Structure 1
Amino acid sequence: MRLFFILFFTASVSLFANEKVALQLKWLHQFQFAGYYAAKEKGFYSELGLDVEIRERNRVKNNIQQVISGEAEYGISDSVLLLYKAKKEPVTIVTPIFQHSPGVILTLKSSGIDSPYKLKNKKLMFYKKDTDGFGILSMLENISVTPILDRVKDKEDYTSLISKTTDAYAGYLTNEPFYFREKGVDINIINPANYGLDLYGDMLFTNLQEAKNHPQRVEKFKQATIKGWYYALEHKEEIIKIIKEKYAKNKSIEHLRYEANAIEEVIQHKSIPIGTLDKGRIKYTLQIYKRHGLIKNDIPTNDYIFEPFNENSVLNDTQKNKLFTDEESDYLKNKKVITMCIDPDWMPFEKNENGKHIGMSADYIDVLKDEINIPIRMINTKTWGESLEVAKARKCDIFSLVMPTKERREWLEFTKPYLSIPLVIVTNLDEFFISDISKVIDKNIGIVKGYAYGEILREKYPTMNFVEVQNVKDGLEQVKEGNIFGLIGTLATTGYHIQKDYIGQLKIAGKFDEKWELGIGVRNDEPILKDIFDKAIAQISPDKKQEILNKWISVNYDRNVNYKPILQWLAVIMLIFSSILFIILRINKKLKLEIRTRKETERKLQEISITDELTHLYNRRYFNKKFPQLINSAKREKKHVSFAILDIDYFKLYNDTYGHISGDEALQKIAESMQSSLSRADDYCFRLGGEEFGILFKGLDKEQSLELIEQVRQNIENLKIEHANNTASQYVTSSFGLVVKDSAITNEEELYREADDLLYKAKDGGRNRVCVND
């Protein structure tokens, strides 16, 4: 009998044991991996049924291949994973952890090498493999600077910089700078992110077999890891102590503390949720690799990004129970019912129709009910404003569909979005197509009271005349009656109402760059709800999302014709415009107006093709056309040609400090200043890309040209746009490379190259200056 109980106990323990998996680190134990230690030591992995072994890097082995071969189920690497995928290696990115790469170049302050432009022909101690420092190499190639790479970098080689046996050292922002500070050595940090190469840093990845065969385990590992990282960053001293005692015994507390603060900067969890993956940034990285000849073809995102619980991995009831932690399951059991607020009149997204929740969000909520397995009950309200007040009073637990704002964060938390919707502007039919929203800032534009996009647009367009309306229907009526010029709303909602009630009266006249990212809003006094709904949302398959979209986003022209549902947002736009055009062409009295409108639209689209959308200066395309034309003209007339390239000084730092909206506004002001400084018909100003501009003219000699460009430079500084990180001035400034040639110039490439070299000379000389050719 005793033997029976021993065997029974042993079998029981084995039956309910956690799943054993291994995590292969990319380097030695340090705070760089604090979130994984926290998830293990605080029990986040074990809560989800995982027994995780964390393995330190063996520098003899390839840590990525160790995961590919199955030696470990999970690993940590950076954007180099895309190169492995391009070679058809079975790797799958689970989630990014570091929003920015910590890879930097270090130089001695005393060397004067404070920019990558000064590294030409300098000795740079570098990694043995390009892939370990690809962001650095890409930056150097982009600015056409070639240092001498000394590929002998090892753990303690930073001392070679102190001994001056090398001019520069490739290291980690989160690590080596501590050693120099400890030794009292002043250094410069050259960060590729400040020169246009902002790549993801550490990412959690797995092999394809693990992703396909154990998607639930991958998702659990991901969720526990993210939870671990939040814990580690919010309890740094506790985790530092754990790392010191159990993992990195040779590292000092001071060094781990330095790492913790530096890593918080590259993760940026207070502004970007940990685990946020922007597919646009991934595609940008792929383009860089392609430009460097490292990959040949595009890789579909579903080939390398883990999508949890798709149609091939539907959870059964037992697995669903494992989706939530014991704490979350107990919460739901005790909660019994979740109360929900909606927008009662916002079709096709949602509506309170005689006490029943209908629309797209209703279909999503039905799916989520199956996941959390308790009822979700709608609170009856008549307006969106009333819903907001009810939620503030804690009478509803969630919003079915809502966008985060600063004000709402005071009483709500927000899940990952499950809908992304373009914003458009609706006008009467006789208005022209609006290619640039800033062109109608003097018009009365309607926005629905209380909608989140109102806050965003007010911040971006502070001078626009916004008029609050009660709901979408009220706004469209006011547009129809001529009380307001236009109404801003979502493509889906405005398209729905136009097709239903306003065909032949209203039209979608323009589109904003912004999109409305919508998810579930959760009361912040019960934060466990957010974790529950985030997990439930992750279960919704792409096919289910498409099914819901197809059900509600469709356009019908005639009751007698049964048109197929529109499968994509772009198709919605095309069909809306097509229906309007069809009706207009049948109405004789508006035929001439439509022809005139189309001609005006075409004229503007020629303008658009040669004009930069943000600054309204000529664009790079027109520069490529105009540059040789003006040179040839100057040759015929035997006049001087002057060409200046200018760069806004430390503009990446400006964007990081003041935000991209302020950056765009600064570029617009600078463009206006340059235009006002150039008064002759043959003076041309171009935006060549990013913060780089070109000025082209003829007929002035070198002294006159320099005087003009100096005036342009001074006028930019006189705008007095504050720039705290500009070492050349307290305001935004520019550096110029100016070339003045007589009519004997050979070609435009020579002129451009010489101006570009002079621009770098101006930057190296301290910035906010003009360097002109001899």
Structure 2
Amino acid sequence: MDAVSPFAPRTLCFYGVRVWLLMLWVWALPWAHASQNPVGDVVNVQLRWHHQFQFAGYYAALEKGFYRDEGLTVRLHAGAPDRQPVDEVLAGRAQYAEGNSEVLLQRLLGKPLVAMAAIFQHSPSVLLVRRDSGIASPHDLIGKKVMLMNGVGDADFISMLQNEGVAPHRLTVLPSSFNFDDLLTGKVDAFNSYLTNEPYYLQQKGIDYTVINPRNYRVDFYSDILFTSENELRNNPARVEAMRRATLKGWRYAMDHPAEIIDLLLNKYQVEKTRAHLEFEANAVRELILPDLVEIGHMNQGRWEHMAQTFLKAGMVQAGFSLDGFMMDSAPQPLPSWVLPALMGALGVSVMALGAVWWVYRVNRQLVVADNELRAVNQALQASLSENMGLQSLLQEKAIRDALTGLYNRRYLDEMLERELARAKREGYPLSVAMLDLDHFKAVNDTYGHLAGDEVLKNLARYLQSSAREGDISCRFGGEEFVMVLPGLTVADACRRLEQWRTDFAGAVTRHGTLEIRVTMSIGLAVFPDHAASVEGLLQCADKALYRAKNAGRNRLEVGA
């Protein structure tokens, strides 16, 4: 008698399952494919502006056939002042479009819009001013001529002004002429711009400029959002998913092959920008998309809610709004028309295959014990891996945190300050670095004990964390010395903020048991580009200013020279 392979039951089992699944797939596929995306579906996509690298992913998806592979014929329409994405989608002239934060704002105002993907994790919308104008912060815009979109496209800027306590009516707001020469000639003092575009013109002309970026004033919005209408999602859910899938694939390709997309823009779309300008734009776009850190198109419900709350605080929307259904993945989607016929067909195939399944089941019973054992081992390995990853993450966090105060430590400061200064230089905004030192702290330790001294340090750390803006960085430099990094703050703005902190803390009480301890602090401030242009220079300048504050009687602020 021939020997029987011990692997024969498993082989028969897998073979039977494959046959059954193949029959099911063959029956259902024609229904699904024919109903989801009929080849040749023509869809119109409205871009925000003229053809440029800002929309690279759409060109890549079109040129590389990603849309065609999904059964879509896509027409890309360049934007214009009189052709806005939200209007085009609501009017039905475009099924899809790319917009800024106005997509969320209009949704909160009752418009039936659905966000499919957030391409830019940070908004490129900024105000540009000439350095020689003396304007460096939102407060400096009071009484100045500021060119904006004069509508919902200004949400970033209105929110920034609100956060800084500057009423918009205190500015002379002019509707955008879309002519950048208005800033160069002095017709306006500040011009609404894109970080990916207009700074290049100023650099080429050798004009020093300052960027007023809402991100430095606690306004960090998504941008370049792929969106559609509720009607399109309701009637063509599979097409919407196909559109998103192909577009994100296009963006991944564009991020990996920027030079190829630049060639395409120059040769096929005949854009007027130079290759050098497009390369500048490509680099700036990459820094806003963050493809190496974040999955392209990623959206977070909590961040949308934060944006909505920002609009509410700015008085742009009414309370009681809901974001239900705004994000595509959370939007209620109807059952596609092909599902029911496919299920009926599958049921028929299942009945026909019932006999085969029965004997497969009998064979599979012999494998259950082994499978369960393997599953248990796998679960144990997964749990161990998760635990190790959690421990690794915890160790990494501990490595950059001060154990006593929970603030970042000197090691993190050294790494972070290099990045922040590079970004400030690139985007043209000031960077303030302040050194804070507790006065007579040795006497506190000697008089009340080190535990009481620790409580004072923790109290100051809590105050700094609660008073800092989003984007500010608080570090314990060593001993009783702290460092605050304040992106976007000019000398005047930083002085106002630090003086407030100094006076607040001087009046604060640290309680330790029955003790009530009052301590003051001295502060030294250095600002890029006013005082230094390197990390070492900024820290050295701030340290010298702190030394002067100590020698001048303590409990005071001194500014670098």
1:139 to 135, 157, 160: 160
Name the CA shift for 1:112/1:309 in 2 (closer, same or farther; >3 Å).
closer
Residue 193 of structure 1 corresponds to: 215
- Equivalent runs, 1:214-363 vs 2, <5 Å: 214-307=236-329, 312-313=334-335, 316=338, 354-356=369-371
Name the CA shift for 1:312/1:152 in 2 (closer, same or farther; >3 Å).
closer
Amino acid at match of 1:261: N
Unaligned stretches of 5+ in structure 2? 1-33, 343-366, 402-456, 483-496, 510-518, 528-532, 547-555
Displacement after TM superposition at 1:312 (Å)? 3.3
Displacement after TM superposition at 1:305 (Å)? 1.2
Amino acid at match of 2:99: S
Does the 8 Å CA contact 1:74/1:206 hold for their aligned counterparts? yes
Name the CA shift for 1:48/1:198 in 2 (closer, same or farther; >3 Å).
same
Displacement after TM superposition at 1:58 (Å)? 3.7
2:104 to 61, 65, 82: 82
Amino acid at match of 1:95: A
2:539 to 723, 729, 735: 729
Name the CA shift for 1:221/1:463 in 2 (closer, same or farther; >3 Å).
closer
- What is the CA–CA distance in structure 2 between the aligned matches of 1:619 and 1:258, rounded to whole Å? 36
- What is the CA–CA distance in structure 2 between the aligned matches of 1:218 and 1:456, rounded to whole Å? 37
- What is the CA–CA distance in structure 2 between the aligned matches of 1:192 and 1:305, rounded to whole Å? 24
> Percent identity between the aligned chains?
28
- What is the CA–CA distance in structure 1 between the aligned matches of 2:139 and 2:121, rounded to whole Å? 26
1:712 to 514, 518, 522: 522
**Within the alignment, does 1:451 sit opposite 2:388 as a pair?**
yes
Does the 8 Å CA contact 2:143/2:172 hold for their aligned counterparts? no
Does the 8 Å CA contact 1:215/1:309 hold for their aligned counterparts? no
- Equivalent runs, 1:479-518 vs 2, <5 Å: none
Residue 53 of structure 2 corresponds to: 31
Name the CA shift for 1:618/1:62 in 2 (closer, same or farther; >3 Å).
closer
Higher relative contact order (CA 8 A, sep 6+): 2
1:48 to 70, 73, 83: 70
Residue 697 of structure 1 corresponds to: 507
Question: How many residue pairs align between the two structures?
Answer: 408
Displacement after TM superposition at 1:51 (Å)? 0.8
1:148 to 171, 175, 178: 171
Unaligned stretches of 5+ in structure 1? 1-11, 321-351, 358-377, 388-400, 403-446, 465-610, 621-645, 655-662, 675-687, 700-707, 718-722, 737-758, 770-774
Displacement after TM superposition at 1:184 (Å)? 1.9
- Equivalent runs, 1:738-757 vs 2, <5 Å: none
Name the CA shift for 1:257/1:92 in 2 (closer, same or farther; >3 Å).
same
State which drifts further: 35-44 or 255-264. Answer: 255-264
- Equivalent runs, 1:403-482 vs 2, <5 Å: 451-462=388-399
Q: If each structure's helix is expressed as a fraction of its own residues, which one has the higher value?
A: 2
Does the 8 Å CA contact 1:216/1:309 hold for their aligned counterparts? no
Name the CA shift for 1:128/1:670 in 2 (closer, same or farther; >3 Å).
farther
1:397-430 Cα distance to aligned partner (Å, 9 max, x none) = xxxx79xxxxxxxxxxxxxxxxxxxxxxxxxxxx
- Equivalent runs, 1:313-712 vs 2, <5 Å: 313=335, 316=338, 354-356=369-371, 382=377, 387=381, 451-462=388-399, 615-617=461-463, 652=471, 663=473, 666-667=474-475, 673=481, 694-697=504-507, 711-712=521-522
Name the CA shift for 1:735/1:136 in 2 (closer, same or farther; >3 Å).
farther
Name the CA shift for 1:154/1:616 in 2 (closer, same or farther; >3 Å).
closer
Displacement after TM superposition at 1:313 (Å)? 2.7
Name the CA shift for 1:451/1:243 in 2 (closer, same or farther; >3 Å).
same
Residue 703 of structure 1 corresponds to: none
- What is the CA–CA distance in structure 2 between the aligned matches of 1:319 and 1:243, rounded to whole Å? 45
Name the CA shift for 1:727/1:618 in 2 (closer, same or farther; >3 Å).
closer
Residue 404 of structure 2 corresponds to: none
Does the 8 Å CA contact 1:127/1:170 hold for their aligned counterparts? yes
Does the 8 Å CA contact 2:122/2:223 hold for their aligned counterparts? yes
Which SS does the other structure have where 1:61 is aligned? coil
- What is the CA–CA distance in structure 2 between the aligned matches of 1:45 and 1:228, rounded to whole Å? 9
- What is the CA–CA distance in structure 1 between the aligned matches of 2:468 and 2:148, rounded to whole Å? 29
Does the 8 Å CA contact 2:113/2:228 hold for their aligned counterparts? yes
Name the CA shift for 1:311/1:196 in 2 (closer, same or farther; >3 Å).
closer
The normalised TM-score by structure 1 is: 0.46
The normalised TM-score by structure 2 is: 0.63
Name the CA shift for 1:61/1:463 in 2 (closer, same or farther; >3 Å).
closer
1:467-488 Cα distance to aligned partner (Å, 9 max, x none) = xxxxxxxxxxxxxxxxxxxxxx
- What is the CA–CA distance in structure 2 between the aligned matches of 1:291 and 1:126, rounded to whole Å? 20
Displacement after TM superposition at 1:155 (Å)? 2.5
1:65-119 Cα distance to aligned partner (Å, 9 max, x none) = 2101211100111111122112221111111101011011111122332333322
- What is the CA–CA distance in structure 2 between the aligned matches of 1:730 and 1:268, rounded to whole Å? 33
Does the 8 Å CA contact 1:35/1:232 hold for their aligned counterparts? yes
- What is the CA–CA distance in structure 2 between the aligned matches of 1:319 and 1:275, rounded to whole Å? 33
Which SS does the other structure have where 1:202 is aligned? strand
Name the CA shift for 1:120/1:216 in 2 (closer, same or farther; >3 Å).
same
